[in-house]
Amino acid sequence: MDARLDYFASPRAGKALKHFMSAGKALKESSLPAVTQELVALRVSQINGCAACLDMHTKEAAAAGESQVRLHMVAAWREATVFTGAERAALELAEQGTRVADAAGGVSDEVWARAARHYDEEQLTALVILVSFMNTVNRLNIITRQPAGAYEVGQFH
Find the farthest-apart pair of alpha carbons in the chain and give their distance in angstroms, rounded: 47
Predicted confidence at residue 110, as pLDDT, reads: 97
Predicted confidence at residue 103, as pLDDT, reads: 66
For helices 34-48 and 121-143, the axis angle rounded to 10 degrees is: 40
Give the separation between CA 62 and CA 67, rounded to whole angstroms: 7
Predicted confidence at residue 139, as pLDDT, reads: 96
CB 94 within 8 A of CB 112: no
pTM of the model: 0.92
Segment 38-79, tens digit of pLDDT: 999 999 999 999 999 999 999 999 998 999 999 999 999 999
